[in-house]
Structure formats: structure tokens, C-alpha cells
Chain A
Amino acid sequence: MKKWPTAALCPLFVFLLSIQAYAQSFDLRILHVNDLHGFAEAYKPLGSREPLGGVAYLAGRVNALRRGQPTLVLAAGDMIQGNNWANMSQGESVIEAMNAMQFDVMVLGNHEFDFGQAVLKKRISEAAFPVLCANVEGLDRVKPFIIKEWSGVRVGIIGVVTEETPVATHPRNVSGLTFLPVAETVEKSVRDLKNRADMIIVLSHIGHAADRALAETVKGIDVIVGGHSHTRIPRPVRVGDTLIVQAWEHGKALGVLDLTIRDGRVVGYDGRLEAIKPQPGSEDPKILAIVERQRQRVDRILNDRIGEAMIDLDGENVRKRETNLGNFIADIMRQVSKADAALINGGTIRTNISRGEVRIKDVYSVLPFDNYIVAITLTGKAIAEALEHGVSGIEEGEGRFPQVSGLTFAYAPSAPKGSRIGEILIAGKPLDPGREYSVATNDFLAVGGDGYRSFAEAVKSSKTFSVVGGTLQGEKVVYSDSGRWLRDVVVEYIREKETIAPGSEGRIVERP
């Protein structure tokens, strides 16, 4: 019998296989999450009557839905930073859980940069899955895209992050990196994948509005799995030939997108969001064990001694007078931001720190809110208005009472509201109403929280922003670090100083 040479048979075999693959339809399931922000445990969101989320319960659902069929499990960015459960290990706990959940691929979100590049590279090296980011140059170990293949069907997955990352995290975290325009980058990647992939998924961390614009601009994208805007898209959105999905935030929902692919085209789809609830019995025990173990680790870290207070720090009277704790925190804010002065609302400070050992949990109890430092240029007149507003609710014990650094002021609580403030000194000199000063505050006041309109007005007039000399700057903004909570800045400061003994120095003088 005459035999075909093996070498001749191989190409024919591959050809026949590929014909068969193209002739048959292929079902692919995509499971997706975005913006987990380290929320490993279920919680009750504002306005919700029941707890939602919990990665052990998310994992249980992923396990059930991926069973017995080709499935991609995708993470659309901002996974490792946010909640204490993640922050205490700088995202290591999240990567451990994601490895155990067998994620297929993840794209970097802007908050993945918040712990700095050295930590990010370590997290990427720990990930058992590829990490994508096509539009960042200068970061080792990330890939622009990957290709996954099932039965001869090749799926190209391109990752992109928001171009605004350099102004949305501290500039030191992105030093030396170049963020390329998203649309041009995706267009190029689609071209690169033209003969190598049958369908294209963009794993994006650019926000839903930008996803829609991308779908309109760049042809050849079959699916965009999005993140960044924390958008709850109950059913896939179709823009041109592109499907767009996004699964809310914090693991409160799992995105499910079922695709039918034929001849390299998506010929059918069905998608939904599944609410994740902590129902006993639905969890993945392996992931639950990781969550518990890491939570115990967080508890241990919160108990870490970071220094010693030589005196009691008063967080109780911050709504009615200057206190040493208010001074201490305002001083740190001024020092970190290199501002002329600092002003925070007393309501930010929630409790005392007793004399003796200071632990991380003590600082977290004092500053429980997720606030960060912002420094804004204000005129002397605007500072005076801010202080006037700050002392206008003292009778009611309102949280807007100011705690300050770099300035002193006198006020008369018995005077009518709006005319209580007397002499104001900055750096020992009388405040000049027409001069501009940089003033550190927190992001809450910067947008007019507690009625502080002076900051909000300054932000309004600061229209453009750029990174100059390693710092985010606008016309009126001299500092903004949205990736580091104020409480963590204070923890670092105490750890560095080891002993603290701030005093009340007559910064706020009450006059009859």
C-alpha cells in the first residue's frame, strides 16, 4: 500500500481541522469583574438593605458557570487597591485570591499604580495569569495582548488603561512611564492581530463613555469588557458591531456574556449581570479560607505598634476648639504637600489617641474616612471666608470647625455668624486678602464638603492639569494624591518619628 509522506499529510490535516473549526459554531462564555478594589468581604452599600459581594461567593458562582464549557475569566482593572483587606498587603492578598480563582487575564487599572512601580512589578510577577496594558510604555512584564485558542478558534485580548492615569495617581507612581492614546493603540493592536485572531476582545479600564467612543472609532472590536466608571450594565450594549459590558464594582456583580462564534464572527450573544450575595453554601471554601487568613493578617497589621504618644491626643473637642490632634494632622498635611497652610474640618477626626503605644488601628479609628490630601491655591480673602464658614456652626457642634496649620486666627463665638473672624496670620504675618497662598485640605473639602465653597470655587477656576516637575498641577491645584489615604500618610509619619507629643499652641484664639 502506498503511503502518504507524513510531512505532506501534516499541512493537509491542519487545513482540514481549521475548515472544520470554521464550519462549526463555537460557544464561548466570558465571566468578568472590574473595580474590585480589594473588597473581599461582602458589605452593605449605602442605601442597600442587604450585603452584597464577597469574593468567596463570587468565586463559587464563577466555578459553577465555567464548568463544562470554554470560558474566559477576565478582570478589567482596579483590583488590588482600595479596601484595607487589599491595602494592608499592597494588593498581594488580591493576587492570591485571583490566582486561586484561576483568572485568565487582567488589565491594569489606574489604581494598580497606587503602591508604586516596584510593588506593581512584584504583584505582576506573583500573578499566575497574564497582565495586559497595551498603551503603557516602560513597564516590564505587561503584555499588549494575548491570544487564547479553543478548537482552532483564536481570541485576541487587548488591554488598555485610561490615559488620565498620570493625573489620577501620584506622579511618582508613573514616573518614567508613557501612557499612549487608547484609540490609536487599540487600532494598532487590532492590525497586529488581524491574521492571528478570529475575534477581538478589548479588556478596558477607560470608563463606559470612553468604551462607547472606542467602539465608534475603532473597527474590528467584537467585545469591550470595561471598567473604571463602576457602571452597572445589566445587559450588553451594542455600539456598531461591538458589544460593551461592565460589571459594576467591588465584586457586587459578576458579568456573564455568552457568545456564539462562527467563521470568526460573533453570530449570537446573551449577557447578564448576576448579583453576588453572601448566601451560606454558595461560597468557594478555598477562597473563603484565603479571605479569612488575609483578614487575620490585616487584624495583626492593624495591631502593629507604630510609635508612642507622649501625651493624650484630643480628638473629642475638634468641633469647638484647637486641639493637639487637629494640629498634628493638619501639620502633616501641610508638610507632605509643602503648602503654606492647612485647613481641615474637625469632623474628619473621629476619636482620641491615648497616651502610650500607638497602633495602626488607633490612627484608622481617628481617620476612618477614605480621604486624601489636596492642596489648592486660595486668595487671602478666600481663606478668610473659609475660616468664617468654619466657625459659623460652633453652637451646633458642626463638623466644619477648622483645625489648622501654618496659620493662626482669632474669633469671637458670640459675634453674629459671618463676622466672627478677627486677625489672621500666615507664617506670622497678617493675611493679605489679595495674595495667593497654597492651602492643604482633604478631597472632601476640596469639592465643597461641609459647605467649604472657597475650595470648590478655586477648583472651578483651575481648568487644565498637567504633571510638572513630578507633581500634578493646575492653575489652582498644587498637590493631589488620590492613591494614598490621609490615615496612611499619618501612619507613615508616626512610624518615622517614633514618638509624638503635639501641643495646642494658640493657633485658634477665642475672643469674647
Chain B
Amino acid sequence: MEVYVNDKPVHLLPGMTVKHALTHAGLIEKLGSGKKVYDEWANELGLDGALSEGAKIFVR
């Protein structure tokens, strides 16, 4: 499936989660420095959260 991290496409296997998307995008380390992950409606997401095709998530 294709999801978007900070507007950049990332390809994942079914069953993969926010954690996998951030690893792919090289952003997982950012969370240790206080950044958080949000969905397109500005809701915070947990790292084990499921993603669906076309999901847009943001690290900020």
C-alpha cells in the first residue's frame, strides 16, 4: 500500500503500521526529540496504529 509521510510517498506491506512508515521515511528518530505523528485531521497517532491506502501522516 502507498501512504504519505510529510507528503512523500512510502510503500508498505499490508498490516504495517505508523512505525514502519516512519522507519521507511527515516523519521522514527525524530520522535525521541519531542516530535509527534498526526493524521490528516491533526489527530495524534500511536506508533502501532494501522494505516490504510492513501493515508497521509505528518511528523511535526
Given contacts A233-B43, A474-B13, contact A444 B48 (CB under 8 A): no
B41 neighbours in A (Cβ, 8 Å): 208, 237
Seen from chain A, the residues whose Cβ lies within 8 Å of a Cβ on chain B are 35, 37, 46-47, 82, 110, 162, 164, 167-169, 207-210, 228-234, 237, 248-250, 374, 443-444, 446-449, 456, 459-460, 462, 465, 472, 474, 477, 480, 482
Does A229 contact B50, Cβ atoms closer than 8 Å?
Answer: yes
Q: Produce 1/0 per residue, B33-60, CB < 8 A to A.
A: 1111001010111111111100100000
Cα–Cα, bound, A447→B2 (Å): 12
Interface range, B side = 20 to 34
Does A482 contact B55, Cβ atoms closer than 8 Å?
Answer: no
Chain A nearest CB from B32 CB (Å) reads 6
- Ordered by A's residue number, 5 sampled pairs between the chains whose C-beta atoms are within 8 Å are A209-B55, A232-B44, A249-B49, A447-B10, A448-B23
A110 neighbours in B (Cβ, 8 Å): 15, 50
A480 neighbours in B (Cβ, 8 Å): 13-15
Seen from chain B, the residues whose Cβ lies within 8 Å of a Cβ on chain A are 10-16, 18, 20-21, 23-24, 26, 31-36, 39, 41, 43-52, 55
A374 neighbours in B (Cβ, 8 Å): 13
Cα–Cα, bound, A248→B26 (Å): 24
B24 neighbours in A (Cβ, 8 Å): 447-448, 456
Name the residue on B nearest A476 (C-beta).
B13
Given contacts A47-B35, A229-B39, A449-B23, contact A35 B46 (CB under 8 A): yes
Q: Which of A167, A230, A460 contacts B15 (CB 8 A)?
A: A167
Does B13 contact A465, Cβ atoms closer than 8 Å?
Answer: yes
Does B45 contact A169, Cβ atoms closer than 8 Å?
Answer: no
A162 neighbours in B (Cβ, 8 Å): 50
Secondary structure dominating the interface of B: loop
Chain B nearest CB from A38 CB (Å) reads 12
Name the residue on A nearest B57 (C-beta).
A229
Does B39 contact A208, Cβ atoms closer than 8 Å?
Answer: yes
B26 neighbours in A (Cβ, 8 Å): 448
Does B45 contact A230, Cβ atoms closer than 8 Å?
Answer: yes
Q: Which of B10, B15, B21, B46 has the most CB of A within 10 A?
A: B15
B13 neighbours in A (Cβ, 8 Å): 374, 443, 446, 459, 462, 465, 474, 477, 480
Cα–Cα, bound, A459→B47 (Å): 20
Given contacts A47-B36, A443-B20, contact A230 B31 (CB under 8 A): no
Does A210 contact B52, Cβ atoms closer than 8 Å?
Answer: yes
The 10 closest A-B pairs by CB, nearest first: A230-B46, A230-B49, A168-B15, A249-B46, A460-B11, A167-B14, A482-B15, A232-B44, A447-B24, A447-B20
Does A230 contact B50, Cβ atoms closer than 8 Å?
Answer: yes
Chain B nearest CB from A351 CB (Å) reads 23
A46 neighbours in B (Cβ, 8 Å): 31-32, 47
Does B16 contact A472, Cβ atoms closer than 8 Å?
Answer: no
Q: Which of A233, A234, A465 contacts B14 (CB 8 A)?
A: A465
Chain B nearest CB from A280 CB (Å) reads 26
Name the residue on A nearest B49 (C-beta).
A230
Does B14 contact A472, Cβ atoms closer than 8 Å?
Answer: yes
Q: Which of A35, A207, A237 contacts B52 (CB 8 A)?
A: A207
Does A447 contact B48, Cβ atoms closer than 8 Å?
Answer: no
Q: Which of B36, B52, B55 has the most CB of A within 10 A?
A: B52
Does A232 contact B15, Cβ atoms closer than 8 Å?
Answer: no
* Sample of 9 further A-B pairs with CB below 8 A, known A164-B14, A167-B15: A47-B34, A164-B52, A207-B52, A209-B52, A228-B49, A229-B52, A250-B46, A447-B12, A447-B24
